[in-house]
Structure 1
Amino acid sequence: MVVLAVSSAVVASFGWACGSMMAHTPVRTVGVFEFTRIQLLTSGGILCALCTALGYWQSVVWTQWPAFALSVIVSVIIGNLAMMECLRRAGPRKTELLLSLKTPIVAALAFLFLGETLSLGELGGIGIALFGICLAILFGSSGQDEASVSRRDLLLIVVLGVIAAASQGVGFLVLKPVLSAGTEPLAASAVRIMGAAFVVSLAGLMPLKAVRPIAEMNWLLLLRVIVPGFIGYGISVSLLLYAYAHYDAAVATVLGSLSPVFVLPLLWLRTGNMPHPLAWAGALLSLSGAAVILL
């Protein structure tokens, strides 16, 4: 069970790395709100169909609805809107760096509210992995893949990144008791995504410029929005929830935060620029930290 939980978190990281790379251009084209709305509606619909086909709805502990509601509002809506805006303004590298902050946030909250404690070995492994992740992000590219950032925008980007990291961490953590009560991770993911899709769709009815698409949609652009959405919301989220259900929250979070490591070869393939040796050193440190955690 531990091996499956660890593998799920690592594969979730790979999924988010792919989704981040695929989402950078379309989110700048269609706008953050419309991008998020389309992804939530399509991913939620696919997840609901899968849960119906697999008979997972009966596993949902509906008495835990406050946890679902909190996860929807904090994680899926606030967290993802902040993340997408950060991604649009700063690019995938800076966004991933700021999102890595959710690991210490989750560790602290899991200790305070769930009573989870970590061994010295696990703490050391988390520290090594986080240091490696930061190295992989900071030296992961020459910066040609990033959006240009002015000094004035830097503070806003940091604020957006911290909000996204804290919101995502809290949104996953509040579902751990729900998962422990027997709710299937895929069903939990479907409930939170459909709840978020409903709220975002209602918000889209408001006569505000911020919720209007900034580009005309076509089938190719729609596909480029849907695919990274399902990879992130449908596959990676469900896998990480499985890891949360069967392993410590802090460990699952750090293993689910390895996407900057997987981004390195993807950036290399896309740009043709070899990442800095320190970036590869960071990748090795991250994997070493993961190994220390599992020993």
Structure 2
Amino acid sequence: MLVVFPFLAALTASVSWATGIVLAQMPAKALGAFAFTRIQLVACSLLVTVLSSVLGLWQSIDWGYWPAFAISSAVGVVLGNLAMIECLRLGGPRITELLLCLKAPIVAFLAYVWMGEVLGPGDLLGGAFVIAGLLIAIQFGGEDRQRHEGLGRQLFPVLMLGGMAAGFQGLGFVALKPALENGAEPVAIAAIRLSGAAVLVVLMGALPTSIGSRQNQQSHRGVSPYLLFRTIVPGVIGYVIASSLLLYAFANMEAAIATILGSLSPLFVLPILWLVEGKKPNSQSVLGAALAVTGGAVIVGS
């Protein structure tokens, strides 16, 4: 039953990301995507770096895995997030979430090619239930259904950006699995990937012709302490807590299953919005959640 602990870690990561998504809406709109991401990455990288130093977690890191750390920072965090944000801007949240469901099969393929991981029948069945439930909840639970129907010529770039985001983020986590299996502490790994990503984003923002530079001039003039606090809190929940929990799951179970269970934030957003904003989930969303729970039970029992 040791699988229960990484299973719960991946689920808790999904809950954390869902909470962060809800909390991030206001500051993200106020600051813009690039400035919002930069503040979060810089603050969270400093936090986990200090935490890793205080707890003495750096001793668990084998720096021979530095190429994997670089891939995870540059590709998984920076490119993956930028592609996701642009997909979200062009296509809306529902089609973005649908496309990010591609992360699980991409991770399964990468883990098979890279590490020879093969899923058992129970894992495959449970994973299929979870993905089906997730797709149903997103497909029928969104409020922007008509938005992607009028995308027209933008549909191809939206599909391309969503696929790139899923692939980049999946590769960023799979690249770290060997280091995690070698005993690296998830919090220290999170510190490395966030610090590398923060440096890259700061450098990108410093370029005079970059999007980040323009957003910096527009949004940082009026950043109040309250807005700064509202920006950092969801970052800590997502980048620090959720990422560390998912990295722990990656170290202790198959990468594809960890990815599936760690991608359930669209389901958990529904009850959170119900509690916070009074938006009651519809019957299709409840059906999707029930399928996902069934799939999780199959995975644990297999």
- TM-score bracket, shorter-length normalisation: over 0.9
TM-score normalised by length of structure 2:
0.91
Alpha-carbon offset, residue 155 of structure 1: 3.5
The aligned counterpart of 1:277 is: 283
The aligned counterpart of 1:107 is: 108
For the 8 Å contact 1:24–1:92, the answer to whether it is kept is: no
For the 8 Å contact 1:128–1:285, the answer to whether it is kept is: yes
Aligned residues: 294
For the 8 Å contact 1:136–1:264, the answer to whether it is kept is: no
Residues 39-85 of structure 1 show CA distances to partners (whole Å, capped at 9, x for unaligned) of 11000001011111111011111111011011111101100122233
Q: Partner amino acid for 2:128?
A: G
The aligned counterpart of 1:170 is: 171
Q: 1:260 aligns with which of 245, 248, 266?
A: 266
1:41 aligns with 2:47: no
SS of residue paired to 2:141: coil
The aligned counterpart of 1:8 is: 9
Alpha-carbon offset, residue 130 of structure 1: 0.1
Cα RMSD (Å)? 2.0
For the 8 Å contact 2:204–2:210, the answer to whether it is kept is: no
For the 8 Å contact 1:32–1:85, the answer to whether it is kept is: no
Which deviates further from its counterpart, 268-277 or 200-209?
268-277
Q: What is the distance in 2 between the residues matched to 1:151 and 1:231?
A: 36
For the 8 Å contact 2:91–2:151, the answer to whether it is kept is: no
SS of residue paired to 1:135: helix
Q: Partner amino acid for 1:121?
A: G
Q: 1:30 to 1:156 in 2, by over 3 A?
A: farther
Q: 2:233 aligns with which of 222, 227, 251?
A: 227
% identical equivalent positions? 48
Q: What is the distance in 2 between the residues matched to 1:60 and 1:252?
A: 22
Q: What is the distance in 2 between the residues matched to 1:163 and 1:227?
A: 27
Q: Partner amino acid for 1:71?
A: S
Alpha-carbon offset, residue 19 of structure 1: 1.4
Q: List runs of 5+ in structure 2 lacking aligned partners.
A: none
The aligned counterpart of 1:288 is: 294
For the 8 Å contact 1:139–1:275, the answer to whether it is kept is: no
For the 8 Å contact 1:21–1:92, the answer to whether it is kept is: no
1:26 aligns with 2:27: yes
The aligned counterpart of 1:142 is: 143
TM-score normalised by length of structure 1:
0.93
